[in-house]
Amino acid sequence: MQYTGEVGTPQYAEVDYQARNAVHLNPFVMPSPSGQSDRHISEKSKRLAQVTDAEATRLDDQTILKRVAEALNIGGYKRHILLCTGPDCCTPEQGADAWDFLKGRLKELKLDKGENFVYRSKVGCLRICHKGPSCLVYPEGTWYHSADAEGLENIIQQHLMKGQIVEDLLIAENPLSDERAD
């Protein structure tokens, strides 16, 4: 739709009216029967926020986000480990195995909650793309290579539990504060 007339002229007003009407009639922006705009609320977020479908529709996004963050204990963790699961630094199978190992060990060692809570994130690529799985631990900003089951066990035992850098697996350090772990 082209605006041909000058702003304020009847020609402009007519085209503007048609343009706004076309947007309103677009099925992708139509209000839902409930009167709200359609929006995607994942099953995962509903489960974490502990809301039913009907409640989720009524709640605003900020409320849902707050509930999800509380359920994940964001604000209460001591370290954050980000593990790349490939496909370039390792195969997707190796990445999946490493991720399963990490989840299992954090749980076994009770690092999935409490005062030493370690928040874990599976990521697609940390841009190192060599000798993976690549892994990154905050707050120290420690980058590791070879984070397979054996490597992760060392990272968990030394770094996550004792705060010591695993020098053999170290790629680089980029602390976001002045502190180093050891």
Question: Using the rule CB under 6 A, which residue among 94, 134, 142, 146 binds ligand FES?
Answer: 134
Query: What is the rounded distance in angstroms from the CA atom of residue 112 to the CA atom of residue 76?
Result: 11
Query: Least distance to ligand FES from the beta carbon of 177, Å?
Result: 24
Query: Least distance to ligand FES from the beta carbon of 97, Å?
Result: 14
Q: Which of 139, 147, 149, 138 lies closest to 170, judged by CA?
A: 147
Query: Least distance to ligand FES from the beta carbon of 95, Å?
Result: 8
Question: What DSSP string runs through 58-109?
Answer: HS-HHHHHHHHHHHTTTTS-SEEEEEE--SSSS-HHHHHHHHHHHHHHHHHT
Compute CA 144 distance to the chain's CA centroid, rounded to the nearest angstrom.
20
- Collect all residues with Cβ–Cβ distance below 8 Å to 86 and sequence separation of at least 6: 92, 94, 95, 132, 133
Query: What is the rounded distance in angstroms from the CA atom of residue 155 to the CA atom of residue 148?
Result: 10
Query: Least distance to ligand FES from the beta carbon of 13, Å?
Result: 54
Could you say whether residue 151 binds ligand FES (CB under 6 A)? Answer: no
Query: What is the rounded distance in angstroms from the CA atom of residue 25 to the CA atom of residue 5?
Result: 24
Contact segment (CB under 6 A) with ligand FES among 13-21, 66-74, 86-94, 145-153 equals 86-94
The contact pattern for ligand FES, residues 87-126, with x = CB under 6 A and - = no contact, is xxx-----------------------------------xx
**Could you say which DSSP state residue 1 is in?**
-
Question: Using the rule CB under 6 A, which residue among 127, 176, 177, 178 binds ligand FES?
Answer: 127
State which residue, 132 or 151, has the beta carbon closest to ligand FES: 132
State which residue, 51 or 83, has the beta carbon closest to ligand FES: 83
Site for ligand FES in 62-81 (CB under 6 A): none
Query: Least distance to ligand FES from the beta carbon of 153, Å?
Result: 19
- Which residues of this protein are in contact with ligand FES, per CB under 6 A? 84, 86-89, 125-129, 132, 134
